[in-house]
Chain A
Amino acid sequence: MSTIARAALCTCAYLLVLQQRPSFRTDVNTVAMYATVRDASGHLVPNLTKDDFTVTDDGQATDIVVFSNEPVPIVVALMLDMSGSMAANYRRVRAAAGAFVDELWEGDRATIGTFGAEVAVSPHLTSDKAILKRVTEEEIWPGGGTPLWSGLRAGMIALTAQPGRRVVLALTDGDEACPARAYNRVPTVSSIPDPVFPRIVDALGPSDAVADLCATGPEVERRAVMQDFMVYGVEFHTRRVFSPESVVRLHDIIDETGGGRFQLETNADLATTFARVVEELHHQYTIGFVPHALDGKAHRVDLRAKNLQLRARARKTYVAPSKS
């Protein structure tokens, strides 16, 4: 079978799945998980059945009431770190973002955002590749610091109204450094005789107002867990080195939400890595279970493949619905 024929068959099957995919609306108390399974050599394992998994909810075994190993359309915010340190790579990032768009299937929807001097997300959450390509060509610009947490928060906000699986995929090369904080260090009015500075400082208001612009790691983690986001991270290792604090926090968020992390060396193929992320998202299992207690509290959930040679990855925490 030719590549084109295979692609056409794949797309047809996917469109069929779009109509048949499992719905969690039948039971508002059903908790959804999206799981990735890889074998010992790191290859995706997409053809397991419900009986191949176990789920425990706060340590208690629970039944899987919804299961599907069919592809689920992707709803993703691609957030690109465009801080000054990425300037030398910004053409590559732009090209890779275009390649990411190419990898999307019909029915997938994406929006593209950047964080650097500003945090910006395109208002277009769309499956229209022409629009997404336009955004990659016209709206990706380098400069500024690395407001990583604000970027992740903006990506989540952009997807808040979307039902089902929501993914924030961040490409970043550095430590959190929110440029808005720098405005707290604007020289005092007396040291600069220009009449505009006091206006800027006045406009920004007290430092708390500026701090609100800069999200924190714990805030982002809380939002991601409470609102059921999956966070993916592609760490782009330039000459700068991640501080342990940023890395640990980012990894925590990714692991807690069942997302994935990919590390890239400076010369690595970014487009291929984005393609791997898209492939993974297209081959996740949809699993639903009923929580053992409707207490409105955070629960630890553990999904495992019965075959110990396989590694299942999914969210680790969820907030149970409350009885009322």
Chain B
Amino acid sequence: MIRRDLFALALAAVLLPLPASLPRSMSIALLFDVSFSVTPKQLASESSFEEVIRAVTKQFQPGDSAVIGLVASRVAFGPANRSSAKELTADWRQLLVAPPSERFGPSPLFDALDAGVSRVHALPGARAVVLWTDGRPTGNVLGAEDAGARAATAGVSLNVIVDDKTWRIDPRRGPLGIERACQVFDTMARMTGGVCLVNSRGTSATVKQLERVLEQLRNR
């Protein structure tokens, strides 16, 4: 038989409203472009990938989770529901073994973002897809706006980090590459409350921006 005072306490706890500031849980699909246009040098700088993974998991609280996806001609996903940088980094390394025919083909990045949305849209809390890429989408079934609209409908935020030091800006003709790439991604990111970040000042500065974006996402 339950004591009356304990019953009252339990009832009060159940009836107490949740504090408004209680952060939501977060589910993230973390995609990395490993197509051939991403040079071996970029791939070799594993620390960049790790930094992004760490930036995401640093924000994690109990109940948060992520899944890794590597993008070549198609997206290969690792196991779902990962919560540590160690697990996610191990998944990234495992997935890197993609057939060369897939890596030399197109880079359907809009379709990949859409695949990321499908991985997280049924999960609880704040949901986001983060894509690290050199910014050259090709061979997509979906256009940028189509993918953005689908993500917005699913309530998933799209976030893209464009990272390629080989792109140039022609002072006479305006943005030639990387900035233009972010213009394309920015349209879809804005539709979902996400962002496109250009990694022009070093990975550390960029991942700090990403951390802020994810923090805002959780508290939105």
| Chain A interface residues toward B at CB < 8 A | 87-88, 90-91, 113-114, 116-124, 131, 134, 137-139, 141-144, 150, 179-180, 183, 186, 192, 194-197, 199-200, 202-205, 209-210, 212-213
Is there contact, CB below 8 Å, between B35 and A118? yes
Interchain CA distance A203-B104 in the complex, whole Å: 12
Distance from B161 Cβ to chain A, minimum over Cβ atoms (Å): 17
Is there contact, CB below 8 Å, between B184 and A121? no
Which A residues lie within 8 Å of B98 (CB)? 203
Interchain CA distance A280-B100 in the complex, whole Å: 38
Q: What are 10 inter-chain pairs, A to B, with CB distance below 8 A? A: A87-B177, A114-B138, A118-B136, A120-B105, A123-B141, A141-B138, A180-B36, A183-B40, A195-B46, A203-B98
Which A residues lie within 8 Å of B100 (CB)? 180, 183, 203-205, 209-210, 213
Known A139-B139, A203-B99: A118·B105 in contact at CB below 8 Å: yes
Distance from B146 Cβ to chain A, minimum over Cβ atoms (Å): 9
Distance from B14 Cβ to chain A, minimum over Cβ atoms (Å): 51
Which A residues lie within 8 Å of B135 (CB)? 141
Is there contact, CB below 8 Å, between B46 and A194? yes
Selected from B96, B104, B140, the residue in CB contact (under 8 A) with A139 is: B140
Selected from B36, B96, B168, the residue in CB contact (under 8 A) with A117 is: B36
Interchain CA distance A55-B104 in the complex, whole Å: 43
User: B194 interface residue, CB < 8 Å from A?
Assistant: no
Name B96's closest neighbour in chain A (CB-CB): A199
Closest 7 CB pairs of A and B: A120-B106, A120-B138, A117-B37, A141-B136, A120-B139, A203-B97, A134-B143
User: B27 interface residue, CB < 8 Å from A?
Assistant: no
Selected from A88, A197, A212, the residue in CB contact (under 8 A) with B44 is: A197
Is there contact, CB below 8 Å, between B96 and A196? yes
Distance from B10 Cβ to chain A, minimum over Cβ atoms (Å): 53
Interchain CA distance A88-B106 in the complex, whole Å: 22
User: B101 interface residue, CB < 8 Å from A?
Assistant: yes
Interchain CA distance A197-B137 in the complex, whole Å: 24
Using C-beta atoms within 8 Å of the partner chain, give the interface range for chain B.
35 or more
Which B residues lie within 8 Å of A91 (CB)? 173, 176
Interchain CA distance A131-B142 in the complex, whole Å: 9
Distance from A187 Cβ to chain B, minimum over Cβ atoms (Å): 9
Distance from B89 Cβ to chain A, minimum over Cβ atoms (Å): 11
Name A201's closest neighbour in chain B (CB-CB): B40
Is there contact, CB below 8 Å, between B40 and A197? yes
Known A138-B143, A202-B97, A203-B98: A143·B166 in contact at CB below 8 Å: yes
User: B144 interface residue, CB < 8 Å from A?
Assistant: yes
Name B110's closest neighbour in chain A (CB-CB): A138
Name A214's closest neighbour in chain B (CB-CB): B104
Is there contact, CB below 8 Å, between B106 and A138? no
Is there contact, CB below 8 Å, between A138 and B46? no
Is there contact, CB below 8 Å, between A192 and B139? no
Selected from A131, A143, A194, the residue in CB contact (under 8 A) with B136 is: A143
Name B35's closest neighbour in chain A (CB-CB): A118
Is there contact, CB below 8 Å, between B104 and A213? yes
Known A121-B139, A195-B46: A200·B144 in contact at CB below 8 Å: no
Residue of A123, A138, A180 ringed by the most chain B CB atoms within 10 A: A138
Which B residues lie within 8 Å of A139 (CB)? 137-140
Name A143's closest neighbour in chain B (CB-CB): B37
Is there contact, CB below 8 Å, between B138 and A199? no
Residues 89-112 of B contacting A (Cβ, < 8 Å): 93, 96-101, 103-107, 110
